[in-house]
Structure 1
């Protein structure tokens, strides 16, 4: 059986706030990749529930964080469609993404 690993490295400041996030993966080559935010969800088979890790660096822009969340929901819509073929749930999630994107765009227009 082939195994693959993903490793995250988080650099924290004195107050334990993330300053830098990097990651490597055996299937992504030898390079170190950098991120401003991560969102990891794991379904724990023993607890029969979701365990989550949400981290973002202190220099992550607020508007980028909002788009990150919208992109994550959109990706989850594709996952639910592929995993379960539930088109209703996927469609509702995509509609929510469109609505949230409009909200963010409107916010940005009013801030300018």
Structure 2
């Protein structure tokens, strides 16, 4: 059995707004923590049958990048859902919505 660790370090301003987000993993080839502008972490609590979430972004993350981040997150959630359930029809619906989202947000490919 193998154990891996993911570490997040968030520097907050006086109002608890993230200024920097750094992440590192024991499985990564990178030897230093890497900076990111936004993160979404979702965990399933089996005891309460609900999702625990942490959504953070730095105060200097541009809105256009946030829009792109949400679009890509939705797309990868569809990929993950397909791998986990095999539900192709609903994933196609999600991908259709993502295309609509990208058009409404004026995201370029």
Counterpart-to-counterpart distance in 1, 2:33 and 2:22: 7
Instruction: Extract unaligned runs of 5+ from structure 1.
Output: none
Counterpart-to-counterpart distance in 2, 1:21 and 1:28: 17
Q: Normalising by structure 2, report the TM-score.
A: 0.93
Query: Once superposed, what is the RMSD of the aligned Cα atoms?
Result: 1.4
Which residue of structure 2 lines up, in the alignment, with residue 73 of structure 1? 74
Alignment length (residue pairs): 107
Deviation at 1:47, TM superposition (A): 1.4
Q: Normalising by structure 1, report the TM-score.
A: 0.90
Aligned pairs for 1:1-112 (under 5 A) are 1-29=1-29, 30-105=31-106
CA deviation string 1:33-53 (max 9, x = no partner): 110000010111111110000
SS of residue in 2 equivalent to 1:105: coil
Counterpart-to-counterpart distance in 2, 1:8 and 1:94: 30
Q: Tell me which protein shows more helix as a share of its residues.
A: 1
Runs ≥4 in structure 1, deviation > 4 angstroms? none
Instruction: Extract unaligned runs of 5+ from structure 2.
Output: none
